[in-house]
Amino acid sequence: MRHFTDEQLFAQVDAATEQDADKKIVAFCCNWCSYAGADFAGVSRMQYPPNVNIIRTMCSGRVAAKFMERAFARGAAAVLVAGCHLGDCHYINANYQTKKRVEKLWKKMERLGLNKDRLQLAWISAAEGARFASKVKEMQGIVDKVSKKEIEKTMVAFSPKGK
Domains in the chain: ranges and CATH: 6-151 (3.40.50)
* Segment (H or E) for 130: helix 129-145
Q: Which of 33, 24, 11, 44 is nearest to 133 (CA)?
A: 44
Residue range 2-19: mean pLDDT, rounded: 93
- The answer to whether residue 2 scores a pLDDT higher than 80 is no
Gap between the Cα atoms of 10 and 69, Å rounded: 10
- The answer to whether residue 26 scores a pLDDT higher than 50 is yes
- 4 pLDDT band, cuts 50/70/90, is confident
pLDDT digits (tens, 9 = 90+) for 136-155: 999 999 999 999 999 999 99
Instruction: Give the chain's end-to-end CA distance (angstroms, integer).
Output: 29
pLDDT of residue 133: 98
- 1 pLDDT band, cuts 50/70/90, is low
- 114 pLDDT band, cuts 50/70/90, is very high
- Other CB atoms closer than 10 Å to residue 44's CB: what's the count? 10
- Asked if residue 32 lies in contact with residue 5, where contact means CB atoms within 8 angstroms, the answer is no
- 163 pLDDT band, cuts 50/70/90, is very low
- The answer to whether residue 162 scores a pLDDT higher than 60 is no
- Other CB atoms closer than 10 Å to residue 61's CB: what's the count? 22
Average pLDDT of the chain, as a whole number? 95
- The answer to whether residue 161 scores a pLDDT higher than 80 is no
Residue range 37-58: mean pLDDT, rounded: 96
β partners of residue 27: 54, 80
Spell out the residues 6+ positions from residue 46 whose beta carbon is closer than 8 angstroms to its own. 129, 130, 132, 133
Residue range 44-53: mean pLDDT, rounded: 96
Across the chain, the runs of DSSP E, i.e. the strands, are 25-30, 52-57, 78-83, 119-123
Gap between the Cα atoms of 42 and 61, Å rounded: 24
